[in-house]
Amino acid sequence: MFTAAQAANDDSFAGADWGLFIGVSLIWGSSFLLIAEALEGLTPGTVTLGRVGIGAITLLIIRALRGGGKAIEREDYGPVLLLSLLWVAVPFTLFPLAQEHINSAVTGLLNGATPVFAGIVSALLVKVAPKGLQLVGIAVGFVGIVLISLGSSGGGSTELRGVLMVLAATVCYGFAVNLASPLQAKYGPINIMTVMLSLATLWVTPFGLWTIGDNEWSLGPIAAVLFLGAVGTGTAYWIMATLVGRVGGVRASFITYLIPVVSLTLGVILRNDSVTALAIVGAVITIGGAFLASRAKAKAA
């Protein structure tokens, strides 16, 4: 199920790679701000169902306009189903729940732990261990994440609960990016992401409908969910799957080293989020890890 797939580019990132890398970083970095805005009137379950369902519809339309896609073969049903849980259903359920305890800036900072777990999964299950500068980059990033966690959970058990939820979501991402690489290589990014989001919509529907009567419907939260779904989920996953195919699952996961910068900036400026100095230091360290980890595999050996 977890197998290595040949990336289109094993060298240093090309211009197109950096374009995809920065684009999805900006989109997902702003998603935590949008979740916070949506939670002003909507329940976590509604936010999750809205963004996943709208994301699925967005990709279904795009795929139809592009002439459809290859049907998923029976042998891949299990991996695709698992991917829909690990890359969408579970983490997208956890993030809004976590943001009831910690702010959007901190959530984005903690999301930078994904490459650490992606590298560990790659080494243990895919048998493709990061080497050289990539390994150093992951180690540096891990130090940064520890500092962010220590600086973000000092407010008691409530904040700690939020931190643990986000870290659990990033563990899911670590497995997902490795699982996605061979699947997108076989079926193409738009096709596999459409199927994955459609399945994930089914998994999150019970949670979304359970608390739908508790919502306070207003334009701001609704607009936030619409953007989260169409751009922050549907379009972003298409971009991410394309990037995974170009540079590999582990290196693509390094986008989460730039997401903290976006989430921190937007959270502090637009929502007056409070972030400790220790967490900011940790975020700076993770950025250094990103540049080290994105170097060519041949140079990293």
213-238 tens-digit pLDDT: 999 999 999 999 999 999 999 888 88
Is 220 or 243 the better-scoring residue by pLDDT? Answer: 220
Could you list the residue range(s) of the whole structural domain that residue 123 is in? Answer: 15-300
pTM over 0.85? The answer is no
Residue 6 within any structural domain of the chain = no
Residue 2 within any structural domain of the chain = no
Helices 15-38 and 90-98 pack at an angle, to 10 degrees, of 50
Residue 170 within any structural domain of the chain = yes
Residue 184 within any structural domain of the chain = yes
* Cβ atoms of residues 218 and 46 within 8 Å: no
- pLDDT single digits (tens) 171-211: 898 888 788 878 877 888 888 889 999 999 999 999 999 98
Residue 243 within any structural domain of the chain = yes
Q: How many Å apart are CA 214 and CA 31, to the nearest integer? A: 23
What pLDDT score was predicted for residue 295? 56
Residue 29 within any structural domain of the chain = yes
Residue 188 within any structural domain of the chain = yes
> At a CB cut-off of 8 Å and minimum separation 6, what does 77 contact?
none
Q: Which two tokens stand for residue 230?
A: 């169409």
What pLDDT score was predicted for residue 8? 46
- Cβ atoms within 10 Å, residue 8: 14
Mean pLDDT value across residues 71-82: 91
Structural domains of the chain, count: 1
Residue 181 within any structural domain of the chain = yes
For 6-73, where are the E strands, in sequence order? none
